[in-house]
Chains A and B, each alone.
Chain A
């Protein structure tokens, strides 16, 4: 499996007045294609900072980040935009849907920026993938929280990215809806999608292949859950069969 993300010695320092805040402290992080990774940790531990750094939404104070083999430090904003647009899909806690656009149009939005037109079938396909085939013409205000997050996931998928980065995607959702969102993620992962999901919900985080724990801007732990997940899966199948 190829290494899709390779980060070495990432540091991020914010200034608040005279105080320096170390959001990330010498973090090394590697991600192999096709993995489903969760990042967990208390608030202020640097989860979101790391995710934004991986997605090139934010630049590290020092350290190097290779995305799909491309070193990102020193890249022009234009090239960063292209790299991000072609390879990464973002999902946010607040959904950030355009209230004036229907579900279908919100999903279509990134195509506008990547200058791809007439992708009706592709949009239909994504709507179906996120389970919203019959809700395409609804405005966000007419959708439930879970449906809105599905639209946001659809929007992240439309440009056919290599990686999905999700920042607390279930933070605003109740537990059963959250579970459905994670099942959607696992479905995508089974089709080969690479995912990094930040969450504070341990139960959900355990459904990934690998779970990282962050504390005070450092990686405090890393657990491979692949085996365990498999047993969970078979147990689920067994109970459904019974």
Chain B
């Protein structure tokens, strides 16, 4: 028998109460754990998403807000355009390895089964440039050449969702022209899986945007030169420069407020659970005043009593922490769905990143929570003189 078994046996005396307290801690720790897992996962996925664009700097029409950057990443239509001349000007800037024009547009596609029209995003691209930006592109079927007409590539997720296959023909644009799917891109794990890709000239023709482009994607020779190059680019009239770090920052800011709300929820949950633990402990300590008096009479010091009370608390919080972490891991997909619904922008990959460090941190936090909550009841019980304790207990 030692202090730990003694503490464990004390907890088993009031099983119901112990279980409820453990559950309270479990809820708090599981909220803490999922939010931390979510936080690191969110940043990681966002980073991956931005990097996977293969684009360092975007040039967009002036007056286009930063928020449009997120539209560009996920696809969207900005009703302002740049021209081929701007592309020329940007590519001449020192340090720019590649500047390629992109036209984004959308068309409504009728679902065969439900008859509902949904918006589909089209990227008009120059295929050679695009392959230099995204050398990882692989295709089922074949790629198109820039001078081909009425051909498209489709992202894998989109193809799966819409049951599209190579050789199929889709009506596109105001004149419902038939475009043939010549290739389906292999999964890239990013937004490219969701888009249609047309040769740039074809996209401009079919939507009557001849000579117009939405954005210029720029790859740098040296990423560390990003600020110097974007400064140069700003000198081109009509152009506003958005670097990928800015995009990320903007998205982070957007998400920030929602995340601070979540953090507040977490803090409240933790505080409530901490007070619950303190309350439970004080109750159980008060109930056992006489017992502590007896222990003192048979030779326990104040430190011994404090140690028993602290051991009990830490037992509760560690058990709660373990239950919380396990249930957070089990329920992570549920939480992810909830959070994705709440945040204004979220990357498409799995947001929850669970690492051994994180599990270690959450467990350590449980222990600290236990010590913090146990300290007052422990001190309170250790200060009793044996007589006080025994007398008090008799009343």
Which A residues are within 8 Å of any B CB, using their own CB?
52, 55, 57-58, 77-78, 81, 84-85, 89-90, 92, 94, 96, 98-101, 105, 108-110, 112-114, 155-156, 159
Pair B6/A112 contact, Cβ less than 8 Å = yes
B43 is an interface residue with CB less than 8 A from chain A? no
Q: How far is the CB of A14 from chain B (nearest CB, A)?
A: 10
Pair A114/B299 contact, Cβ less than 8 Å = yes
Given contacts A57-B386, A108-B1, 16 further A-B contacts (CB under 8 A): A52-B387, A57-B387, A58-B387, A77-B301, A81-B299, A81-B301, A85-B299, A90-B294, A90-B297, A96-B291, A99-B13, A109-B298, A112-B1, A113-B295, A159-B298, A159-B299
A4 to B290, CA, bound (A): 28
A55 to B298, CA, bound (A): 11
- Scoring A55, A85, A92, A96 by chain B CB atoms within 10 A of each residue's CB, the highest score goes to A96
Chain A residue nearest in CB terms to B11: A100
Query: Contacts A96-B291, A100-B12: A78 and B387 contacting too (C-beta < 8 A)?
Result: no
Determine the interface band of chain B, counting residues with CB < 8 A from chain A: 20 to 34
A110: which of B9, B290, B293, B299 is its contact (CB, 8 Å)?
A: B299
Pair A105/B1 contact, Cβ less than 8 Å = yes
A7 to B27, CA, bound (A): 58
Number of inter-chain CB pairs below 8 Å? 68
Q: What are 17 contact pairs spanning A and B, CB under 8 A?
A: A55-B297, A57-B296, A58-B386, A81-B301, A84-B299, A85-B298, A90-B298, A92-B297, A94-B290, A100-B9, A100-B10, A109-B1, A110-B298, A110-B299, A112-B6, A113-B295, A113-B299
B199 is an interface residue with CB less than 8 A from chain A? no
Pair B294/A92 contact, Cβ less than 8 Å = yes
Which residues of the other chain, A, contact B300 by a CB distance below 8 angstroms?
A: 81, 113
Main secondary structure of the interface of B (DSSP, over half): helix
- Scoring B2, B294, B301 by chain A CB atoms within 10 A of each residue's CB, the highest score goes to B294
Q: How far is the CB of A158 from chain B (nearest CB, A)?
A: 9
B302 is an interface residue with CB less than 8 A from chain A? yes
Q: How far is the CB of A92 from chain B (nearest CB, A)?
A: 7
B186 is an interface residue with CB less than 8 A from chain A? no
Which residues of the other chain, A, contact B297 by a CB distance below 8 angstroms?
A: 55, 57, 84, 90, 92
Which residues of the other chain, A, contact B301 by a CB distance below 8 angstroms?
A: 77-78, 81, 113
Enumerate the 3 nearest inter-chain pairs by beta-carbon distance, A residue then B residue, closest first: A85-B299, A96-B294, A100-B9
Could you tell me which residues of chain B, from 286 to 311, have a CB within 8 Å of some CB in chain A? 290-291, 293-302, 304
Q: Mark B376-395, 1 if CB is under 8 A from A, else 0.
A: 00000000011100100000
B137 is an interface residue with CB less than 8 A from chain A? no
Which residues of the other chain, B, contact A155 by a CB distance below 8 angstroms?
A: 298
A109: which of B290, B295, B302, B387 is its contact (CB, 8 Å)?
A: B295
B117 is an interface residue with CB less than 8 A from chain A? no
Which B residues are within 8 Å of any A CB, using their own CB?
1-3, 6, 9-10, 12-13, 290-291, 293-302, 304, 385-387, 390
A100 to B284, CA, bound (A): 14
A101 to B291, CA, bound (A): 13
Query: Contacts A85-B298, A100-B9: A113 and B304 contacting too (C-beta < 8 A)?
Result: yes
Pair B387/A81 contact, Cβ less than 8 Å = no
Which residues of the other chain, A, contact B390 by a CB distance below 8 angstroms?
A: 57, 92
A57 to B298, CA, bound (A): 10
Pair A77/B302 contact, Cβ less than 8 Å = yes
A154 to B300, CA, bound (A): 17
B13: which of A52, A55, A100 is its contact (CB, 8 Å)?
A: A100
Which residues of the other chain, A, contact B2 by a CB distance below 8 angstroms?
A: 112
A57 to B389, CA, bound (A): 10
Which residues of the other chain, B, contact A159 by a CB distance below 8 angstroms?
A: 298-299
A96 to B3, CA, bound (A): 18
Which residues of the other chain, A, contact B385 by a CB distance below 8 angstroms?
A: 57-58, 77
A110 to B298, CA, bound (A): 6
A90 to B298, CA, bound (A): 7
Which residues of the other chain, B, contact A100 by a CB distance below 8 angstroms?
A: 9-10, 12-13
Chain B residue nearest in CB terms to A55: B297
Q: How far is the CB of A237 from chain B (nearest CB, A)?
A: 36
Which residues of the other chain, B, contact A114 by a CB distance below 8 angstroms?
A: 299
Which residues of the other chain, A, contact B290 by a CB distance below 8 angstroms?
A: 94, 96
- Scoring A84, A94, A98, A159 by chain B CB atoms within 10 A of each residue's CB, the highest score goes to A98
Chain A residue nearest in CB terms to B288: A98
Which residues of the other chain, B, contact A94 by a CB distance below 8 angstroms?
A: 290
Q: How far is the CB of A47 from chain B (nearest CB, A)?
A: 14
A84 to B385, CA, bound (A): 13
A209 to B34, CA, bound (A): 72
Which residues of the other chain, B, contact A99 by a CB distance below 8 angstroms?
A: 13
Chain B residue nearest in CB terms to A85: B299
Q: How far is the CB of B370 from chain A (nearest CB, A)?
A: 20
Pair A101/B9 contact, Cβ less than 8 Å = yes
